[in-house]
């Protein structure tokens, strides 16, 4: 049954709470962490998380996304319990196999990933991969069941662990290894507790179903290279800096990225609720999708421009060593904006089950990202890396839109998307090139006015709807 507008908004807001709370926690912890830890330390922690995310993707082999896709349309009329148990069993088997195969090469792996031979780091890494996979499945289950309560509790606890606990350790020892120990062990406890709470979701598989396995893996396998490419797209800047600059640069860059993720406040709850909503309603809700696209572009653009205007204030949160990132900060904002827009415009790829098309999208994006990172890092340094990141995001959005629209029509006018990218890119260029403070803010205010004028109908509609919703 299609949901009413108010029902959609209520659940959207409900699933947004985690992101809002997480951002508030990050917002409050940033002034402490960037003064307590040197950029080198935060760079090491970020690289650890970067490789954890990569191996989490490899271990999941696309089964997490298959689980979401087939939750409502289960092959061979199998139960949710069967689907849940099957995906978990395959994933945990792969984790065990990975650890067994990795142990003989532990020194090599540690040297490649962390640039030092350390068994402690490697075992923390194995545990972190286990936690990533476990919490991912549980998170997806709450989303598909629209269980806002459990989703929120898990999300807030993860935010507290990731943003607060290691700071406490930093007062005792501000090096990176104690922080990683506390982070990993805390995530392990969280994963085991939630797994125990949800143990009734598992169903004893009495008979292997070949048909189900075939359909699940037909959907999931093409997602493996896609997921790796998505990881590469987001991680290339850090890895390039790790190998051609230093961990200090990584720390500065990733701290700015964390601030740029304020844009995710707009996205908050959207992707979380959008995926199950589209799979459940795509046959009947085309008109609703047109509106969602226009309003999302409007909100994310105006909010992005507001953040750019407020960047001098925002950067007061960070320690003095991190404020050099201000000059390239708007380029980092452009990237999440493009990816948010692409979530609506490219949904035809998932609906049509042609997941292999994402390989094209992210292969091109990764090539663009790597090429411009290597090209611009020498003459421009970290700002060049930020520009490369934004260029890759724009390319990804355009390709995803083109391929998605071929299979499911979501965009009734492309002018919104292209205006958004143009105005945000212009604000980033202004910030980078205009040194005069007065002139810079005059031009940025002009960009904000132009955007408000362009989106005047959408702003008016959203204002009216908000008033009626509040009443």
- Residue extents of the structural domains in the chain: 37-221, 223-471
Nearby residues of 167 by Cβ (< 8 Å), 6 or more positions away:
29, 32, 33, 36
Q: Are 119 and 110 in contact (CB under 8 A)?
A: yes
| Residue 57: φ, ψ to 5° | -65, -45
CB neighbour burial string for 19-47, b if at least 16 within 10 angstroms, e if fewer: bebbbebbeebbebbbebbbbbbbbbbbb
Contact between 71 and 144 (Cβ < 8 Å): yes
Phi, psi of 127 (to 5 degrees): -65, -40
Q: How far is the C-alpha of 360 from the C-alpha of 399, rounded, in Å? A: 8
Q: What is the pLDDT along the chain (471 residues), one digit of tens a residue?
A: 445 555 555 666 666 677 777 777 877 777 788 788 888 888 888 888 888 888 888 888 888 888 877 777 766 667 777 788 888 888 889 999 988 988 888 888 888 888 788 888 889 999 999 998 888 888 888 877 777 788 888 888 888 887 777 787 878 877 888 888 988 888 899 889 888 887 777 777 767 777 778 888 888 887 788 778 878 888 888 888 888 888 888 888 888 887 787 776 666 556 666 666 776 766 666 666 777 778 888 888 998 899 888 888 888 777 777 777 888 888 888 888 888 888 778 777 877 777 778 888 889 999 999 999 999 988 888 889 999 999 999 999 999 888 888 877 777 778 888 899 899 999 989 988 887 888 988 999 999 999 999 988 878 877 776 666 555
- Contact indicator for 48, 114 with CB cutoff of 8 Å: yes
Q: Show the tokens assigned to 180.
A: 């990683």
Q: Is 92 exposed, middle or buried (0-12, 13-18, 19+ CB in 10 A)?
A: middle
**Residue that has been written with the tokens 């392990």 in this structure:** 188
User: What is the Rg, in whole angstroms, of the alpha carbon atoms belonging to the chain?
Assistant: 22
Distance CA 428, CA 419 (A): 14
HSE (side-chain half, CA atoms, 13 Å) at 105: 9
The two structure tokens encoding residue 124: 């923390």
CA distance 328 to 338: 17
HEC string of the chain?
Answer: CCCCHHHHHHHHHHHHHHHHHHHHHHHHHHHHHHHHCCHHHHHHHHHHHHHHHHHHHHHHCCHHHHHHHCCCCCHHHCCHHHHHHHHHHHHHHHHHHHHHHHHHHHHHHHHHHHCCCCHHHHHHHHHHHHHHHHHHHHHHHHHHCCCHHHHHHHHHHHHHHHHHHHHHHHCCCCCHHHHHHHHHHHHHHHHHHHHHHCHHHCCCCCCCCHHHHHHHHHHHCCHHHHHHHHHHHHHHHHHHHHHHCCHHHHHHHHHHHHHHHHHHHHHCCHHHHHHHHHHHHCCCCHHHHHHHHHHHHHHHHHHHHHHHHCHHHHHHHCCHHHHHHHHHHHHHHHHHHHHHHHHHHCHHHHHCCCCCHHHHHHHHHHHHHHHHHHHHHHHHCHHHHHHHHHHHHHHHHHHHHHHHHHHCCCCCCCHHHHHHHHHHHHHHHHHHHCCCHHHHHHHHHHHHHHHHHHCHHHHHHHHHHHHHHHC
Q: What is the pLDDT of residue 64?
A: 85
């Amino acid at each position: 049954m299609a949901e009413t507008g108010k029902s959609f908004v209520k659940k959207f807001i409900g699933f947004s709470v985690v992101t809002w709370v997480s951002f508030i926690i990050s917002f409050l912890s940033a002034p402490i962490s960037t003064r307590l830890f040197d950029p080198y330390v935060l760079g090491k922690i970020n690289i650890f998380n970067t490789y954890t995310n990569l191996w989490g993707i490899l271990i999941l082999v696309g089964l997490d996304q298959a689980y979401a896709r087939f939750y409502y349309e289960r092959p061979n009329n199998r139960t949710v319990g069967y689907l849940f148990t099957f995906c978990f069993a395959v994933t945990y088997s792969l984790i065990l196999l990975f650890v067994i195969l990795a142990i003989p090469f532990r020194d090599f792996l540690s040297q490649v990933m962390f640039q030092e031979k350390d068994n402690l780091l490697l075992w923390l890494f194995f545990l972190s991969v286990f936690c990533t996979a476990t919490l991912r499945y549980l998170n997806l289950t709450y989303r598909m069941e629209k269980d806002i309560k459990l989703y929120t509790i898990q999300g807030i606890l993860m935010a507290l662990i990731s943003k607060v606990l290691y700071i406490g350790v930093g007062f005792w020892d501000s090096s990176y290894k104690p922080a990683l120990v506390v982070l990993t062990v805390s995530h392990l406890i969280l994963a085991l507790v939630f797994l125990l709470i949800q143990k009734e979701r598992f169903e004893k598989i009495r008979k292997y179903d070949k048909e189900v396995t075939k359909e699940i893996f037909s959907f999931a396998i093409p997602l493996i290279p896609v997921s790796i490419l998505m990881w590469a797209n987001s991680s290339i800047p850090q890895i390039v800096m790790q190998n051609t600059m230093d961990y200090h640069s990584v720390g500065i860059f990733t701290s700015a990225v964390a601030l740029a993720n304020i844009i995710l406040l707009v996205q908050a709850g959207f992707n979380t609720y959008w995926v199950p909503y589209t799979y459940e309603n795509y046959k009947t809700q085309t008109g609703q999708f047109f509106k969602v696209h226009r309003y999302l572009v409007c909100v994310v653009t105006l909010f992005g421009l507001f953040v750019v205007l407020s960047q001098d204030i925002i950067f007061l949160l960070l320690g003095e060593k991190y404020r050099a990132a201000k000059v390239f900060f708007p380029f980092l904002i452009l990237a999440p904006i493009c990816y948010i827009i692409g979530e609506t415009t490219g949904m035809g790829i998932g609906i049509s089950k042609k997941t292999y098309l994402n390989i094209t999208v992210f292969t091109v994006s990764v090539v663009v990202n790597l090429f411009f990172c290597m090209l611009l890092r020498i003459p421009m340094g970290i700002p060049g890396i930020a520009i490369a990141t934004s260029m890759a995001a724009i390319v990804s959005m355009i390709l995803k839109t083109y391929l998605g629209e071929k299979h499911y029509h979501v965009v009734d006018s492309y002018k919104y998307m292209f205006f958004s990218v143009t105005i945000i890119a212009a604000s980033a260029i202004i910030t980078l090139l205009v040194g005069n403070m007065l002139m810079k803010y005059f031009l940025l205010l002009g960009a904000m006015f132009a955007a408000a004028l362009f989106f005047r109908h959408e702003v008016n509609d959203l204002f009216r709807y908000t008033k009626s919703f509040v009443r």
